[in-house]
């Protein structure tokens, strides 16, 4: 068993297998006192991240006071669960920041995309259009609250790809 300081465990340089702390495969599992009740919780922290990716309840041990120790099977299950949670979160964020619609015109299909650029000081969005072959027809900056729909994309195309009026 390796004993290391808590902050060193999160840096990912060590493999640790202790009853309340496991570090391996880019993850740290730490059994902690549950703040909401008398029970225990486990937090999963991905290496390099400041906050836990997942916090959940943890099983009491046989004495009904102390937590059940971490083991290899539990750790692997926690890594899988936390990884899936992070992946779903990233997919949801991507879906919120990137939207696409396809508009059929007399000249063919046009793919219109809205990409939101989150910035603490100046968030904005880029509206772009590509033809069926993937050639870029237009790209402009729009307000971050621009609503992309088939009708707004069609109106933009019909208006010669000129910047849409802000509707804030």
pTM beyond 0.95: the answer is no
pLDDT given at position 164: 84
Domain extents in the chain: 6-70, 97-158
Cα distances (Å, whole numbers) of residue 37 to 50, 65, 88, 145: 24, 12, 29, 42
pLDDT given at position 58: 94
Please identify which residue in the block is written with the tokens 């997919």. 91
Task: Please indicate whether residue 65 or residue 1 has the higher confidence score (pLDDT).
Answer: 65
DSSP 27-64: EEEEEEE-SSSSSEEEEEEETT-SS-SEEEEE-B-TTS
pLDDT given at position 15: 85
For 47, other C-beta atoms within 10 Å of its C-beta total 14
pLDDT given at position 9: 41
CA–CA separation, 27 and 23 (whole Å): 6
Q: Which two tokens stand for residue 118?
A: 């989150």
Q: Convert the pLDDT of each residue in 84-140 to its tens digit.
A: 999 999 999 998 899 999 999 998 999 999 999 988 899 999 999 999 999 999 999
Q: Convert the pLDDT of each residue in 1-52 to its tens digit.
A: 444 444 444 444 568 899 999 999 899 999 999 877 778 999 999 999 999 9
Q: Which two tokens stand for residue 128?
A: 């772009």
pLDDT given at position 35: 77
Please say if the pLDDT value at position 77 is more than 80.
yes
Contact, 126 vs 139, CB < 8 A? yes
């Amino acid at each position: 068993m390796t004993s290391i300081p808590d902050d060193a465990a999160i840096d990912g340089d060590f493999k640790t297998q202790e009853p309340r702390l496991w570090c391996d495969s880019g993850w740290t599992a730490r059994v902690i006192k549950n703040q909401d009740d008398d029970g225990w919780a486990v937090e999963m922290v991905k290496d390099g991240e400041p906050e836990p990716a997942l916090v959940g309840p943890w099983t009491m041990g046989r004495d009904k006071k102390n937590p059940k120790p971490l083991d290899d099977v539990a750790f692997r299950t926690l890594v899988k669960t936390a990884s899936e949670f992070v992946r779903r979160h990233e997919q949801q964020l991507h879906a919120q920041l990137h939207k696409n619609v396809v508009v059929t015109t007399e000249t063919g299909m046009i793919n219109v995309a809205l990409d939101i650029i989150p910035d603490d000081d100046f968030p904005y969005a880029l509206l772009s259009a590509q033809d069926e072959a993937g050639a870029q027809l237009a790209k402009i900056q729009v307000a971050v609250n621009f609503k992309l729909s088939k009708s707004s994309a069609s109106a933009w195309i019909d208006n010669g790809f000129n910047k849409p009026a802000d509707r804030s």
